[in-house]
A = this chain, B = another copy of it.
């Protein structure tokens, strides 16, 4: 059994990667399990060193990797080289977050007359299975946010190669494993496996303690179900594609042409294959939003090439399904490129068409957006209430005194993990305050984030030590605080 990756521009085979055999998988997860206690005993600063080594190695192969990625994804050399830089930056950032040490949550209660001494620290879970995204072959893939956060938190990673960029996955893995070995990380710290059934077997492997996934709702929920059927159920952090609504206020609609051009730029970015793609624009009645977006689409004239043949076919099927559900195509740039091209389209529908269960309330993957006009704040609230929850939303306002802004932000904050104001949702900075995860079904664990400093929290579990002699504790729990971690002592942060 093997997996072939293809050139989306021609449909020709780029790489053929043999599926990991059951024996190989057993060895890989066994090595990860053997490495887990070694990683758990390393200091966060030591693991930062490993992450920096991988980041440096990635960057030193940037051009080679971008070329390889472009053949398998057709996302363009410039974007892909930039994504290598981003992925390297992410790995360094998670190393910094680990070294800062707040993620360990060290909490110390000294003994009192009525309560025992307790030290609570976060311990790494153990081997983590990572399923990367189709649409970001670096930043959300083999060496993306999930791998960076898991290694930073002290967990070995077994990553599954995405079939669409299986060749690139193996090359990245090769580079990372060499860098990790040179930096002194133990064998078993990181491995890549390949094959569809291998992914299922990986989630079922008793040694695996958590799963991180970025991709479609169908894929994420399938892994979540498999994990829930294990003898020992493990957490699945699935971050899934969503509609990501954008609301334009009455004041914001005064410059509808600028909003429309911005929307087109955002929903066609990366061929509309972002999980934060804005799929729905809610604009005030009479704002002419649909026509403005249609004009902007024709001006931009995007000719998206999709990652796979199935995804390209899915775009056309998605548009057809939206039309069948009552939407009307108001602007379309038909597929024109050779290879796996798809149309880019903007549709419109009445607010009444967005009934519960309607296809119009679901994501259409690709460069497709729906424009719906709302009559007033009440109808807007009703429409937002009907939407599935999303990863992100945007509000476009008129000015700092926009009377609709605060209420609209509050309304959307109940439905998403991030509300961007006067900015498009597609950009996701990796910083301390980022939240990339929303209410179900945007994310299977809505309190988790797959981007940003809090991403490490997914891969740890608290343990409290009660009345133990200091010398019997792991370093992070010791009174002398050898790793210089932030601590809460008797309720007070220090």
* Residues on A facing B (Cβ under 8 Å): 96, 100, 102, 105, 107-109, 114-116, 118-120, 123, 228, 232-235, 389, 400, 405-406, 409-410, 413, 416-423, 427, 429, 431-435, 437, 439-441, 444-447, 449, 452-454, 457, 460-469, 471-474, 486, 488, 490-491, 493
Contacts and interface: CB of A to CB of B under 8 A. Distances in A.
A88 to B, nearest CB: 15
A439 B461 contact: yes
Contact of A434 (B120, B439, B447): B120
Contact of A469 (B100, B235, B405, B440): B405
Per CB-CB distance, the 8 closest pairs between chain A and chain B, nearest first, are A435-B464, A118-B433, A120-B433, A420-B466, A115-B429, A107-B433, A109-B433, A421-B468
A206 to B, nearest CB: 11
A490 B96 CA distance: 13
A431 B109 contact: yes
Given A107-B454, A109-B433, A114-B429, 19 more contacts: A107-B432, A109-B431, A109-B434, A116-B423, A232-B389, A234-B440, A235-B445, A235-B446, A405-B472, A409-B468, A413-B463, A417-B462, A419-B463, A421-B469, A434-B464, A435-B462, A437-B462, A447-B460, A449-B462
B120 A419 contact: no
B421 A447 contact: no
Contacts of A123: 413
Contacts of A406: 471-472
Nearest to A464: B435
Nearest to A469: B400
Given A418-B466, A422-B467, A423-B466, A472 B409 contact: yes
Contacts of A105: 454
A447 B461 contact: yes
Given A108-B433, A413-B465, A447-B461, A420 B116 contact: yes
28 contacts: A105-B454, A107-B433, A109-B433, A116-B429, A118-B418, A118-B429, A118-B431, A120-B434, A123-B413, A232-B389, A232-B440, A233-B440, A233-B444, A235-B447, A405-B472, A413-B463, A413-B465, A416-B463, A417-B461, A418-B463, A419-B466, A419-B468, A423-B466, A434-B464, A447-B460, A447-B461, A453-B491, A493-B493
A406 B465 CA distance: 11
Contacts of A416: 463
Contacts of A118: 418, 429, 431, 433-434
Nearest to A443: B461
A362 to B, nearest CB: 13
Contacts of A467: 420-423
Contacts of A462: 417, 435, 437, 447, 449, 454
Contact of A463 (B400, B417, B423, B429): B417
Contacts of A235: 445-447
A43 B460 CA distance: 30
A29 B475 CA distance: 47
A486 B152 CA distance: 25
A226 to B, nearest CB: 13
Contacts of A120: 432-435, 452, 454
Contact of A432 (B114, B454, B490): B490
A77 to B, nearest CB: 21
